[in-house]
Structure 1
Amino acid sequence: MRAASLLLVLAVFLHAYTVSTFYVVEINNVIGPYTLSQVQRAISLAEQNNGAVLLLLSTPGGLADTTLQIMREIGNSPVPVIGYVYPDYSYAWSAGTYILMSTHIAAMAPHTVIGSCQPIAGGTPINESKVLNALIGYLETVSSSYGRNGTFARLCITQNVNLNAEEALRYKVINLIAIDVGDLIRQINGTTILLRNKPTVLVVKATATVTVQPTLTETLQMWLSDPVVSSILSLLAFILLLAAFLTGHPAAAVAAIILLILSTFTILPTAWLGVALIIMGAVLIMAEALMGMPAHGAVAAVGAVLLVAGFLSTYPANVFGGELIRIENWWLIEAGLYINIAVLVGFLAFMVFKAVTVHRKRPPSEILTSLKGVEGVAIEDIGPDKPGFVKVFGEYWRAVANKPIKSGCRVRVVELRGDFLVVDSEEC
Structure 2
Amino acid sequence: MRRTIWALLALALLILGFLLHNRPAAATTGGEVVVLRIDGVIGPATSDFFARELRRAHARQAALLVLAMDTPGGLDTSMRAIIKDILAAPLPIVTWVGPEGARAASAGTYILYASHVAAMAPATNLGAATPVAIGMPGGKPGDDTTRKDKADDNTKERDGNSAGDAAGIGDSMMEKVRNDAAAYLRSLAQLRGRSGDFAERAVREAASLSSEEALAAGVIDLIAADLPELMKKLDGREVKLGDGRTQRLSTAAATVTQIAPDWRMRLLALLSNPQLALVLMMIGIYALFFEFTSPGFGVPGVAGAICLLVALYAFQLLPVNWAGVALLALGAILMLAEAFLPSFGALGVGGIVAFVVGGLFLMDTEAPGFGIPLAFLIGLAIASALVIGAVGSFAARTRRRPIVSGREQMAGTIATVTTVTAEGAWALAQGESWRVRSASPLAPGDRVRITGLDGLTLLVEPLTADPANRRGGSPP
Q: Same fold (TM over 0.5)?
A: yes
User: Which of 212, 232, 243 does residue 259 from structure 2 map onto?
Assistant: 212
Contact kept, 8 Å, 1:19 with 1:205, in 2: the verdict is yes
2:181 matched residue in structure 1: 135
Residues 320-342 of structure 1: CA distance to partner in whole angstroms, max 9, x if unpaired? xxxxxxxxxxxxxxxxxxxxxxx
User: Which of 100, 103, 106 does residue 88 from structure 1 map onto?
Assistant: 100
Residues 203-261 of structure 1: CA distance to partner in whole angstroms, max 9, x if unpaired? 22633222334444332111111344334334434543564466456532442332222
2:78 matched residue in structure 1: 66
Residues 70-99 of structure 1: CA distance to partner in whole angstroms, max 9, x if unpaired? 111101111011101112111111111111
3-state DSSP of counterpart to 2:314: helix
Q: Does 1:41 align with 2:72?
A: no
**Aligned pairs (5 A) from 1:48-127:** 48-51=59-62, 52-122=64-134, 124-125=139-140
User: Which of 172, 175, 181 does residue 227 from structure 2 map onto?
Assistant: 181
C-alpha distance in 2, partners of 1:113/1:258? Answer: 42
Contact kept, 8 Å, 2:232 with 2:252, in 1: the verdict is no
Residues 284-327 of structure 1: CA distance to partner in whole angstroms, max 9, x if unpaired? xxxxxxxxxxxxxxxxxxxxxxxxxxxxxxxxxxxxxxxxxxxx
3-state DSSP of counterpart to 2:42: coil
C-alpha distance in 2, partners of 1:203/1:147? Answer: 22
Contact kept, 8 Å, 2:79 with 2:107, in 1: the verdict is yes
User: Which of 26, 39, 52 does residue 15 from structure 1 map onto?
Assistant: 26
2:392 matched residue in structure 1: none
Q: How many residues align?
A: 292
CA-CA distance at 1:49 after TM superposition: 2.6
**Letter of the structure 2 residue corresponding to residue 390 of structure 1:** Q
Contact kept, 8 Å, 1:33 with 1:268, in 2: the verdict is no
Q: Does 1:236 align with 2:283?
A: yes
More strand by share: 1
CA RMSD of aligned residues (A): 3.8
3-state DSSP of counterpart to 2:253: strand
User: Which of 378, 387, 390 does residue 430 from structure 2 map onto?
Assistant: 390
Name the larger-Rg structure. 2
User: Which of 279, 296, 300 does residue 252 from structure 1 map onto?
Assistant: 300
> In structure 2, do the counterparts of structure 1 residues 198 and 178 end up closer, same or farther at CA, with 3 Å as the change threshold?
same
Deviates further, 181-190 or 56-65: 56-65
**TM-score normalised according to structure 1 size:** 0.59
CA-CA distance at 1:199 after TM superposition: 3.5
2:164 matched residue in structure 1: none
> In structure 2, do the counterparts of structure 1 residues 55 and 240 end up closer, same or farther at CA, with 3 Å as the change threshold?
same
Contact kept, 8 Å, 2:45 with 2:272, in 1: the verdict is no
Structure 1: stretches of 5+ with no match in the other structure: 271-370, 383-387, 395-406, 408-428
CA-CA distance at 1:65 after TM superposition: 1.4
3-state DSSP of counterpart to 1:57: strand
**Letter of the structure 1 residue corresponding to residue 300 of structure 2:** A
C-alpha distance in 1, partners of 2:201/2:29? Answer: 36
3-state DSSP of counterpart to 1:206: coil
CA-CA distance at 1:380 after TM superposition: 4.8
**Letter of the structure 1 residue corresponding to residue 208 of structure 2:** N
3-state DSSP of counterpart to 2:89: coil
CA-CA distance at 1:155 after TM superposition: 1.2
**Letter of the structure 1 residue corresponding to residue 36 of structure 2:** V
Contact kept, 8 Å, 1:55 with 1:84, in 2: the verdict is yes
CA-CA distance at 1:45 after TM superposition: 2.4
**Aligned pairs (5 A) from 1:24-423:** 24-51=35-62, 52-122=64-134, 124-125=139-140, 128=173, 129-196=175-242, 197-204=244-251, 206-241=253-288, 243-244=290-291, 247=294, 250-266=298-314, 379-380=415-416, 390=430
> In structure 2, do the counterparts of structure 1 residues 379 and 113 end up closer, same or farther at CA, with 3 Å as the change threshold?
same
Contact kept, 8 Å, 2:285 with 2:308, in 1: the verdict is no
> In structure 2, do the counterparts of structure 1 residues 102 and 237 end up closer, same or farther at CA, with 3 Å as the change threshold?
same
**Letter of the structure 2 residue corresponding to residue 152 of structure 1:** F
3-state DSSP of counterpart to 1:174: coil
C-alpha distance in 2, partners of 1:59/1:218? Answer: 16
3-state DSSP of counterpart to 1:203: coil
1:302 matched residue in structure 2: none
Contact kept, 8 Å, 2:272 with 2:317, in 1: the verdict is no
Identity %: 29
**Letter of the structure 1 residue corresponding to residue 101 of structure 2:** Y
3-state DSSP of counterpart to 2:239: strand
**Letter of the structure 1 residue corresponding to residue 205 of structure 2:** Q
C-alpha distance in 1, partners of 2:286/2:315? Answer: 24
**Letter of the structure 1 residue corresponding to residue 70 of structure 2:** S
3-state DSSP of counterpart to 1:18: coil
C-alpha distance in 1, partners of 2:117/2:184? Answer: 18
> In structure 2, do the counterparts of structure 1 residues 9 and 256 end up closer, same or farther at CA, with 3 Å as the change threshold?
same
Contact kept, 8 Å, 1:23 with 1:45, in 2: the verdict is no
CA-CA distance at 1:14 after TM superposition: 2.3
CA-CA distance at 1:42 after TM superposition: 2.3
Structure 2: stretches of 5+ with no match in the other structure: 1-11, 142-170, 319-404, 419-427, 435-446, 448-476
